[in-house]
Amino acid sequence: MSNNGRIIVLGGDGFCGWPTALHLSNAGYDVTIVDNLSRRKIDIELGAESLTPIATIDTRLDTWEEISGKRIDFRYFNIAEEYRNLVDLFAEIEPQAIIHFAEQRAAPYSMKTPSHKRYTVDNNINGTHNVLCAIVETGLDIHLVHLGTMGVYGYGTAGMAIPEGYLGVKVEVEGQEIPIDIPYPPHPGSIYHMTKTLDALLFYYYNKNDGLRITDLHQGVVWGTNTEETRLHPALINRFDYESDYGTVLNRFLMQAAIGHPLTVYGTGGQTRAFINIQDTVRCIKLAVENAPMRGERVKIFNQATETHRVRGLAELIAGLTGAEIRYYVDPRNESLENELVVRNDQFLALGLNPITLSEGLLTEVIEVAARYKDRARSAVIPPASSWRADIPLDKEGSSAPVAVEHVLQVAGGR
């Protein structure tokens, strides 16, 4: 037993979960990982392994024990299907907190085919509901920390800084203006993002009905690969997704620059998104664990993002650094080609987060990691492979100038 308490990390073999498990173990928490290794199996389906050679979960855990003297426990099961295992584990460990990363997290993968849509909904919604139901069944006062997404707010131009989960509005009641806070209207842009808005409703209900203490972290696009702990040994290296379903935009651009592939800008590259470095992801999660909501408090929502960038701007920055060519692909997604995004993140700043922002040094470090393993890359899996609708073409070649085809259907009353 360690000093700080016990934590269960659901999805602790994944890109965010693995460095978080190490960070918490290093900080003196007793960590148990649950994972069904579905992400490693999807690597096989997509014909693309992590660019970095990740060790097996057993080697990862043995290596961490050798280096740190701390053992992280591992349980192999599916949280969406093996409910009894969850209840038994919670009752056995009596954790102070559960961190929930265990979802299918790629928007393009969730849009691939009807079976991928159904898998994403079944896996994510059943998994989250099982966790909530199991906490209630055990009767334990466990703080649930969930990894949500900035995408629940939608990617239009909101015309205001995106608040942290709740929107203050005024309603007119009998001639008087009454101020109330409502959950920010959900506006998902993919089946995957939709599951996160449904998760939010589950949290709302279990918080209201059973008084569960829940923190939902609305995280932006994560970039980077290693953290202080994963750098300690090659067998602790974190995964690096680069193919077009799981690879996220900034890491993809850095990897593409490293292997001499043109940077794959979709549409005009006018999409603005929120970003966070993986090192800050693990710091934020520790801060969230250490600043749990009180019993009776509403679901606590943090925007876990440190800066916003336009996709085109990122491509130009990396092209300037490396001389990479920029190519423009027909956007496979049903998304606005241009949007403005301003995000509030006051709560993490108030808790002492000193954000890591994009710097030449950090970008170069990721390019160096990608260059080291470039022989493991398959160029064939870099162009887009999933589109949002059957009528949206998959552009495998790209062109030197933007192809400004917007696929957004105009629906009355839509944003």
| Contact partner, 227, from ligand USQ, ligand NAD, none, Cβ < 5-8 Å per class | none
**Under a CB-based contact definition with an 8 Å cutoff, are residues 35 and 57 in contact?**
yes
Question: Does the protein bind ligand NAD through residue 189 (CB under 6 A)?
Answer: no
149 annotated active-site: yes
**Under a CB-based contact definition with an 8 Å cutoff, are residues 43 and 49 in contact?**
yes
3-class SS string, 222-288: EECCCCCCHHHCHHHCCCCCCCCCCCCHHHHHHHHHHHCCCEEEECCCECEEEEEEHHHHHHHHHHH
CB under 8 Å to 33, separation ≥6 — which residues? 8, 9, 12, 13, 17, 21, 57, 61, 72, 73, 74, 75
Single out the residue of 46, 222, 263, 285 in contact with ligand NAD (rule: CB under 6 A): 222
Catalytic residue among 112, 128, 195, 196: 196
Q: Which is nearer to ligand USQ, 75 or 309 (CB)?
A: 309
Q: Which is nearer to ligand USQ, 25 or 195 (CB)?
A: 195
Q: Which stretch binds ligand NAD (CB under 6 A): 9-17, 201-209, 262-270, 295-303?
A: 9-17
Minimum distance from residue 323 beta carbon to ligand USQ (Å): 19
> Which H or E element spans position 303?
strand 300-304
Single out the residue of 35, 164, 229, 280 in contact with ligand NAD (rule: CB under 6 A): 35
Strand partners, 34: 10, 75
Would you give the distance in Å from CA 102 to the centre of its chain?
Answer: 10
Catalytic residue among 83, 153, 192, 373: 192
Q: Which is nearer to ligand USQ, 13 or 335 (CB)?
A: 335
Single out the residue of 96, 219, 238, 256 in contact with ligand NAD (rule: CB under 6 A): 219
The Cα 71–Cα 67 span in angstroms is 10
Question: Does the protein bind ligand NAD through residue 102 (CB under 6 A)?
Answer: yes
Q: Which is nearer to ligand USQ, 90 or 266 (CB)?
A: 266
204 annotated active-site: no
| Contact partner, 252, from ligand USQ, ligand NAD, none, Cβ < 5-8 Å per class | ligand USQ
Which positions touch ligand USQ (CB under 6 A)? 105-107, 149-151, 220-221, 248-249, 252, 264-266, 269, 271, 273-274, 311, 331, 333, 335
Minimum distance from residue 142 beta carbon to ligand USQ (Å): 24
**Under a CB-based contact definition with an 8 Å cutoff, are residues 86 and 97 in contact?**
no
112 annotated active-site: no
* Residue span 226-245 as binding mask against ligand NAD, x where in contact by CB under 6 A, dash where not: --------------------
Classify residue 174 as exposed, middle or buried by CB count within 10 Å of its CB (0-12, 13-18, 19+).
exposed
Catalytic residue among 32, 149, 197, 230: 149
Minimum distance from residue 16 beta carbon to ligand USQ (Å): 9
CA 315 vs CA 206, 270, 276, 326, 328: distances in Å: 42, 11, 17, 7, 10
**Under a CB-based contact definition with an 8 Å cutoff, are residues 146 and 193 in contact?**
no
**Under a CB-based contact definition with an 8 Å cutoff, are residues 344 and 350 in contact?**
no
Q: Which stretch binds ligand NAD (CB under 6 A): 200-208, 216-224, 306-314, 350-358?
A: 216-224
Phi, psi of 90 (to 5 degrees): -60, -40
Strand partners, 223: 277
Strand partners, 75: 34
Residues near ligand NAD, by CB under 6 A: 11, 13-17, 34-39, 78-80, 101-103, 105, 123, 127, 147, 149, 219, 221-222, 248
- The catalytic residue positions are 149, 192, 196
